[in-house]
Amino acid sequence: MIAGRDTTASTLTFATYALAMYPNIMAKLRAEVMEKVGPTRRPTYDDVREMKYLRAFINETLRLFPSVPFNVRDSVNATTFPPTSANDKPVYIPARTSIAYSVFLMHRRTDLWGPDALEFDPDRFLDERLHKYLTPNPFIFLPFNAGPRICLGQQFAYNETSFMLIKLLQSFDAVTLDEASQPSDSRIPSSWSTVPGRQAIERFFPKIHLTMYAHKGLWVKMREVNN
């Protein structure tokens, strides 16, 4: 059930987390939902296709919180990887070798995404940063992998995630983390507050088996809209 269920469930969990963490972004998303779909109508494929900010929000969620954070590929033939900086040498890869790589770390690299790589900002998929970083170097963004074994359900996943988020945003106008309710062994240790990077600001406990998930769930409160 990894392919079609855990990945999408985790992505929706991380998207809900982002709504709680970034109320201004949630307000912007709701405005797009109200403009394109309205307060109650069921969204269509055409609606989803036109909702650029929603797609950018989902991409930003998949960038910072990719539900498949690590992957492995095996070399068929011997090859070399180019050096990563001018002073390095190429890396020799023998034939029939497993090479593990981290999409999670790639998605957070400032040399690939710019100095604000650790910030949650959907606009990076819409403004000049898109043309500066992603368009010329599309393999920096691999939540669904790439090449012949790319995720078969990618479009389904975007539609499913979009549909769920639109219905959620039609029904609720505020999401807050409910840390008091969550199981005590899933609370963020206070020692995290001094660690560099996003670990210091994160309010949920990410864990990994094959996919990444919120340990013991994400605990939130939502305010229902009075339509």
Give the binding-site size for ligand HEM (rule: CB under 6 A): 17
What is the nearest approach in angstroms of ligand HEM to the Cβ of residue 15?
10
* 8 binding ligand HEM? (CB under 6 A): yes
Sign of CA dihedral 70, 76, 78, 80: negative
For the record, the structure tokens of 159 come out as 């539609």
By the 8 A CB rule, do 165 and 48 touch?
A: no
Task: Work out which of 81, 101, 139, 156 binds ligand HEM, going by CB under 6 A.
Answer: 156
Task: Work out which of 112, 130, 153, 164 binds ligand HEM, going by CB under 6 A.
Answer: 153
Of residues 52-111, which lie at the interface with ligand HEM (CB under 6 A)? 67-68, 71
Task: Work out which of 96, 131, 149, 209 binds ligand HEM, going by CB under 6 A.
Answer: 149
* DSSP assignment of 188-209: PPGGGGGSSGGGGT--S-EEES
Q: Where are the alpha helices (DSSP H) in 22-51?
A: 23-36, 45-50
Q: How far apart are CA 190 and CA 20, in angstroms?
A: 20
What is the nearest approach in angstroms of ligand HEM to the Cβ of residue 159?
9
* 7 binding ligand HEM? (CB under 6 A): yes
Q: How far apart are CA 14 and CA 173, in angstroms?
A: 17
Span from 3-11, 21-29, 79-87, 114-122 in contact with ligand HEM (CB under 6 A): 3-11
Q: In the complex with ligand HEM, which residue's Cβ is closer, 20 or 68?
A: 68
Give 105's contacts (C-beta < 8 A, 6+ positions apart): none
Do the annotations mark residue 151 as ligand-binding?
yes
Residues of the shown chain interacting with ligand HEM in the complex, contacts defined by CB under 6 A = 3-4, 7-8, 11, 67-68, 71, 143-145, 149, 151-153, 156-157
